[in-house]
Amino acid sequence: MASQTYNAGNIQVLEGLEAVRMRPGMYIGTTSSRGLHHLLWEIVDNAIDEASNGFADEVTVTLHKDGSASVWDNGRGMPVDTHPTMGIPGVEVIFTVLHAGGKFNNENYDYSGGLHGVGASVVNALSKWLTVDVFLNWTHYRMAFTSEMNPATHKVEAGKPAGPLEIIGNTRKKGTLVRFLPDDEIFEDVKFHTETVARRLQELAYLNKGVRITFTDERLPDPESRTRVFCYDGGITDYVRYLNAGKNALQEDIIYLEGRRDSVICRAAIQYTDGFSESLFSYVNNINTPEGGSHETGFKAAFTKCFNDYARKAGLLKEKDNNLAGEDFREGLTCVLTTMVKNPQFEGQTKGRLGNSEVRPAVEAIVSQQLLDWLDNLKNQEAATAIVTKAIRAAQAREAARKTRDNIRKASQLEAAPLVGKLASCTGRKWEDNELFIVEGDSAGGSAKQGRDRRFQAILPLRGKPLNVEKKHLDQVLANEEFRSLITALGAGIDESFSLDNLKYGKVIILSDADQDGAHIRAILLTFFLRYMKDLITNGHVYIGMPPLYKVQKGSNVIYAYDDRELAKATRAAGKGYTLQRYKGLGEMNPEQLWETTMDPSQRKLMRVTIEDAAEVDRLTTVLMGDKVEPRRDYISEHADFNRPDDFELPEHQQAGRREGGE
Ligand code: 2B7
């Protein structure tokens, strides 16, 4: 085997990869399902880099039945010639030397994605095996790597070449094919998630105009639905149209800006809707930056200034009027902003913010110049006027809401009067430990109040369906009794004045029936949190409680089942002569049952609400909660499965463990 021929320098190289297995979290953040997917993104990003730098136009991603994943691009093919200083083939360097990716990137590409820039070697280190096929110079090369235990030392040797670089034969193809099997000794869960992969590939296809990404999941039973192709000749313009599917666009045309300054490339696609929320999604080198950063700051500054100047020139703002605020111009805005940056620095808690300070003036200059051109164009005058008029109305609504909000804030601080008879508060003093259950209906609310542990559990019953806030201004939301109670109960303010510092509960748990009405109420509450208390969700305070669907009883032996699979298991275990009760709503449970099944922390199941993909959450929220009927009907008939998703299945203590792994 090749290992015998290694010199001292190479042994050190191999030790490097073992470090990855010792502390995988350092390289991929986590060994949870998210970390597993990072492996795939790392390889996909290399393929996309090859495409976005103009060397490839096809990328294929396949999930295989044996649990492995493969990625192919029709680019130049990874270098196979001998590395000048290391004396081993280029591919071997790429897959066995830590951070080789970074060095190669700078030489070979102007711009490069990559989630942590950790490179292909980390994927190799965390895989049971990995193979790479290179199609180059009419020759098909192959090299294989494995992570196996050395019987002499009883240690796993990570990502070792299984043999030398081989020539398989002649080929007319060009490109690189990488296939790997994630190591089940490293990852808690080694199953790739079809929809997670599909969504990311679709996003990449939108961000990389014209690249054809074919995704095949060979594990799916139905051959018809195994393969999906993502390819958008309109790029981010198509992306904005897709995001706005559930919204009413104010103008048909999408504003498209593009420019380059020094090494910064910036593109933006913009469309206004009659909605009230701001949907700005920004990317740097194909990586989402949910926390914004210097590119967003530059964009916003240019946008606000150009439109204010225009409003004055057009006489829509008078001399005595104040300038409009940036947020007024962004009400109802859907925008995808992408930037290509050399050596991007990602900052913030989740590395979701661009730090490079040189990017701000570059983006500002590009957007200003492009937007001025757009505003100068005669055919855009009508659209520009509509945007300014909308912003003026937004400013007025903002002022009205500020007054109401200040009143509410005073009310919530000074007196809890509006809550009397509604909220059953808890006695505990530590906010982190306290839980607020938002319960659908007065009868379930009554059971919850009796069944709870009043030391740390508070109950807020909801009467009827709350207001759908998706198409409401803040002042209308604040006029709604149910939401006022909720805002007062949480004690943390709302919208701009929202602050986790004043939050009174560590967990906010939505408890609604397992039927369509319950799902609607849950969706309304989540929409409210998303639009007005987003930090509550992003900081992991929002949960969905899971009441059981069935009770299987035989004698004194009771089993609760939370979905159909569990029901089958329970009835099998019970054998003959059991009684089955199907719970139609929370109200059917007595206080003890509700405590046992849904509220008792040692037994209940909770699902924590997260926002993995902000653009998709925004799109689905408007599709499902907005006022356009068509897209909603299409979505529901396509996804008409009201069964519970897999995520619902872990009991809470297990979920907590998984969470720790995920952070
Ligand atoms: C940062 C490293 C990994 N690389 C190259 C050249 C082409 C190339 C790659 C790739 C994923 C799965 C199939 C450059 C870059 C290494 O150096 S990686 N194509 N595709 C890829 O990984 N796809 C390259 C200069 C001249 N010739 C080839």
Question: Looking at the 3D structure of the chain, how many domains does it have?
Answer: 4
User: Which residue is closest in CA terms to ligand 1's atom 22?
Assistant: 46
Substitution candidate for ligand 1 out of 39, 43, 46, 141 with most atoms within 8 A of CB: 46
User: Which residue is closest in CA terms to ligand 1's atom 14?
Assistant: 108
What is the CATH classification number for the domain harbouring 60? 3.30.565.10
Q: Which two tokens stand for residue 319?
A: 């001399």
Residues 563 and 538 in one domain: no
- For residue 504, being part of any structural domain is answered with yes
**158, 102 contact by CB (below 8 A):** no
- For residue 2, being part of any structural domain is answered with no
pLDDT reported for residue 100 = 47
Q: Which domain holds residue 243?
A: 236-402
Residues 515 and 574 in one domain: no
pLDDT reported for residue 105 = 40
For ligand 1, is residue 94 a contact (CB within 6 Å)?
yes
For ligand 1, is residue 59 a contact (CB within 6 Å)?
no
Residue from 611, 618, 612, 615 nearest 203 by CA: 615
Amino acid at 192: F
For ligand 1, is residue 176 a contact (CB within 6 Å)?
yes
Q: Which of 230, 245, 269 is the last residue of a domain?
A: 230
Mean pLDDT by runs of 10 across the 663 residues of the chain is: 42 66 88 94 94 94 98 97 93 85 46 59 97 97 96 91 97 98 96 95 97 97 94 98 92 95 96 91 93 97 97 94 94 96 87 94 98 96 94 90 72 52 89 96 91 96 85 82 89 88 95 85 91 91 91 91 89 90 88 94 88 80 80 70 39 32 27
Ligand 1 closest atom vs CA 177: 13
- For residue 4, being part of any structural domain is answered with no
- For residue 416, being part of any structural domain is answered with no
Q: Which of 230, 259, 283 is the last residue of a domain?
A: 230
| Segment (H or E) for 168 | strand 166-170
Q: State the distance from the centre of ligand 1 to the C-alpha of 164, rounded, in angstroms.
A: 19
User: Which residue is closest in CA terms to ligand 1's atom 25?
Assistant: 108
What span, in angstroms and rounded, lies between the C-alpha atoms of 90 and 165?
10
pLDDT reported for residue 108 = 55
Ligand 1 closest atom vs CA 73: 13
Residues 54 and 197 in one domain: yes
Verdict on whether the full-model pTM lies above 0.75:
yes
Q: 49, 440, 566, 618: which one is catalytic?
A: 440
pLDDT reported for residue 565 = 87
In the residue annotation, 515 being an active-site residue is answered as yes
What span, in angstroms and rounded, lies between the C-alpha atoms of 229 and 211?
10
- For residue 425, being part of any structural domain is answered with no
Ligand 1 closest atom vs CA 47: 23
Q: Which two tokens stand for residue 60?
A: 């294929």
In the residue annotation, 157 being an active-site residue is answered as no
In the residue annotation, 309 being an active-site residue is answered as no
Q: State the distance from the centre of ligand 1 to the C-alpha of 46, rounded, in angstroms.
A: 6
For ligand 1, is residue 120 a contact (CB within 6 Å)?
yes
Q: State the distance from the centre of ligand 1 to the C-alpha of 411, rounded, in angstroms.
A: 61
Substitution candidate for ligand 1 out of 42, 43, 76, 201 with most atoms within 8 A of CB: 76
What span, in angstroms and rounded, lies between the C-alpha atoms of 279 and 16?
43
- For residue 12, being part of any structural domain is answered with no
Q: 517, 600, 613, 616: which one is catalytic?
A: 517
Q: State the distance from the centre of ligand 1 to the C-alpha of 142, rounded, in angstroms.
A: 14
Q: 92, 513, 596, 618: which one is catalytic?
A: 513
- For residue 53, being part of any structural domain is answered with yes
Cα distances (Å, whole numbers) of residue 77 to 46, 100, 177, 209: 11, 16, 9, 21
| CA 294 to chain CA mean position, Å | 21
Cα distances (Å, whole numbers) of residue 378 to 259, 309, 373, 441, 493: 21, 17, 10, 56, 44
Q: State the distance from the centre of ligand 1 to the C-alpha of 336, rounded, in angstroms.
A: 28
What span, in angstroms and rounded, lies between the C-alpha atoms of 283 and 340?
8
Q: State the distance from the centre of ligand 1 to the C-alpha of 351, rounded, in angstroms.
A: 25
pLDDT reported for residue 631 = 81
Q: State the distance from the centre of ligand 1 to the C-alpha of 78, rounded, in angstroms.
A: 4
pLDDT reported for residue 639 = 62
In the residue annotation, 513 being an active-site residue is answered as yes
Q: State the distance from the centre of ligand 1 to the C-alpha of 228, rounded, in angstroms.
A: 25
User: Which residue is closest in CA terms to ligand 1's atom 9?
Assistant: 78
Q: How many CA atoms lie within 13 A of 620 on its CB side?
A: 14
Residues 200 and 292 in one domain: no
pLDDT reported for residue 218 = 97
- For residue 419, being part of any structural domain is answered with no
Neighbour tally for 473: CB within 10 Å: 18
Residues 542 and 555 in one domain: no
For ligand 1, is residue 72 a contact (CB within 6 Å)?
yes
For ligand 1, is residue 105 a contact (CB within 6 Å)?
yes
Strand partners, 343: none
User: Which residue is closest in CA terms to ligand 1's atom 24?
Assistant: 78
Residues 623 and 483 in one domain: yes
Residues 560 and 458 in one domain: no
Neighbour tally for 522: CB within 10 Å: 19
Residues 499 and 351 in one domain: no
What span, in angstroms and rounded, lies between the C-alpha atoms of 404 and 476?
10
User: Which residue is closest in CA terms to ligand 1's atom 27?
Assistant: 76
Ligand 1 closest atom vs CA 44: 11
What span, in angstroms and rounded, lies between the C-alpha atoms of 517 and 585?
10
For ligand 1, is residue 529 a contact (CB within 6 Å)?
no
For ligand 1, is residue 104 a contact (CB within 6 Å)?
yes
What is the CATH classification number for the domain harbouring 537? 3.40.50.670
pLDDT reported for residue 6 = 41
Residues 319 and 335 in one domain: yes
Residues 567 and 623 in one domain: no
Q: Which of 562, 582, 602 is the last residue of a domain?
A: 582
Q: Is 223 exposed, middle or buried (0-12, 13-18, 19+ CB in 10 A)?
A: exposed
Ligand 1 closest atom vs CA 176: 13
For ligand 1, is residue 75 a contact (CB within 6 Å)?
yes
Residues 179 and 192 in one domain: yes
pLDDT reported for residue 52 = 86
Percent of the chain as helix, strand, coil, to the nearest 5: 45, 20, 35
Residues 611 and 519 in one domain: yes
What span, in angstroms and rounded, lies between the C-alpha atoms of 100 and 117?
10
